[in-house]
Structure 1
Amino acid sequence: MKGIITVSLFFLSALAQAGEVEIVKVELLEQAPQNWRAHVTLKHADTGWDHYADGWRVVTPEGKELGHRTLHHPHVNEQPFTRSLSGIAIADDMTEVMVEAHDKVHGWSADRVRIDLQQASGDRYRVERR
């Protein structure tokens, strides 16, 4: 019984150390009218299959999802890491979007990046229009 408790405490400690996923930077590139590509760099202390950053999404300020990238495996030895998504439909009249990140334990992180589409760059983001 003592061994089970020790192993359980070890795994709980590892989960607590991983914390929430951090969005390091976002690059939004306009490929065509209302068609964007995003490169999102995340940092997370992935511990393995039970706790890793498993996705990110682009949403409107009201929370409507415009694009979602699922991450299918942990990136234990690759931190921070960047993954991309094409085909994000952002209407021409939109002035801002948000990027959110998700991990298997904490869900959607409170760490979000607000992107002002009228600015070429800002806190943790860059926007490139055609």
Structure 2
Amino acid sequence: MKASLYALALLTIGFTSNSYAGEVDVIDAKVTKSGNGLYHIAVTLKHADTGWDHYANRWEVLGEDGSLYATRTLHHPHVNEQPFTRSLSGIKIPNDAKQIIIRGHDSVHGYGGKELKVVVTSDNDK
């Protein structure tokens, strides 16, 4: 009986520590037009990465209709670097787009947390 309770306690602790980091929040983005309908976007994320088992593993740029414009894969945890900023260049955004949505993703919860809507203009430099 004691062994069963001990095993249950260990499972609970393991599950809790894995989900403790929560979801990824997008806290800032700088959008710069680089020419020919292409953009450079620097995104700042906040997530309590715990290591390889739970970390922010990507961010995405979407149109208002949900169309995926770009994905920036994050190849490792940022445990001691929070919040952190990563960028992506060569993002094609349609000329008629009025705003974009940037969302984060983590290895445990998937999508969630705070998304950021950014107005896109012809001379964008947010």
Alignment of 1:20-39 (within 5 A): 20-39=23-42
Q: Does 1:47 align with 2:50?
A: yes
Kindly provide the CA deviation profile for residues 62-107 of structure 1, in whole angstroms up to 9, marking residues without a partner as x: 1111110001111111111111101100122211111011001111
Q: Does 1:128 align with 2:113?
A: no
Mapped to 2, the partners of 1:67 and 1:101 lie a distance apart of 12
Q: If the length of structure 1 is used for normalisation, what is the TM-score?
A: 0.85
Q: Percent identity?
A: 39
Name the count of aligned residue pairs.
123
Q: Which has the larger radius of gyration?
A: 2
Q: Which residue of 2 aligns with 1:75?
A: 78
In the TM superposition, residue 109 of structure 1 has moved relative to its aligned partner by 1.4
Q: If the length of structure 2 is used for normalisation, what is the TM-score?
A: 0.87
Q: Which residue of 2 aligns with 1:61?
A: 64
1:104 equivalent among 102, 107, 110:
107
Query: Higher strand fraction: Structure 1 or Structure 2?
Result: 1
Show structure 2 runs of 5+ residues with no match. Answer: none
Show structure 1 runs of 5+ residues with no match. Answer: 121-126
Root mean square deviation of aligned Cα: 2.0
